Amino acid sequence: MNHLLVRDCWRIIRETDPSRLNDARLPLANLDDCLAYFELSPLPVAETHGGDRPGISSPATPSFKGLTDEFLLALRRHLFAQSESSLVTQWAETLMRFCEVRYHSLRSRAISKCGSKEAAQLHLLHLAAFLMDQAIETRDVRPLNTTLKLTDIKWLLDTRTIARNLTRTDSRFVAALFQFRLVLTSEYALDQLSNSEFS
């Protein structure tokens, strides 16, 4: 079913005005291997590598409370560039533990932090994308497991609404791009896991 969903969503994305796909949080960056797995052609113009290495400084202590979307993006860019691996790993470990320990209160904590349900959902989707990127880059099953648990939370990712939300013009559009990314990368990672590519 997810393979059909991926293909339907990719068709909608390819028919979308490219300027709408270039969100600063890079929901479609660095997906070449995953798209190739599904035999999908990349977008003609897309932020595939996420630009230069980030210059943003790290908050003093890794924590969910101190995590911003700007720093999440910086962590993902470091992953894409294969730089600052110790910093990325430190943040990934902390955020994995937070998500596991606070799993049942993630929604309320994120809403309290972000100020609204929509902002909280998008922030946690961005966090899940980072953990999945870390899983794929390091071939580590632990961030993969955490991300799969996050994608089981219906208010965070409901596969029945992704295609519809990809046609919207509000914040749900960017959330749907991240949801598509998570479905795509999850299927790719699970295939890699079944082929013993993960440890």
Alpha-carbon Rg for the chain, nearest whole angstrom, is 16
Fill in the amino acid letter for 13. I
% of the chain residues with pLDDT over 90 = 75
Q: What is the pLDDT of residue 49?
A: 45
Domain ranges of the chain: 2-194
Confidence category of residue 199, pLDDT binned at 50, 70, 90: low
> How much is the pLDDT for 84?
85
Amino acid at 170: D
**Nearest-CA neighbor of 156 among 129, 188, 190, 133?**
129
- Whole-angstrom CA distances from 147 to 24, 58, 75, 96, 99 are 22, 23, 16, 9, 9
Neighbours of 140 (CB within 10 A): 17
Q: What is the pLDDT of residues 45-89, one digit of tens each?
A: 544 444 454 556 677 789 999 999 999 999 999 999 988 889 999
pLDDT score for 45:
56
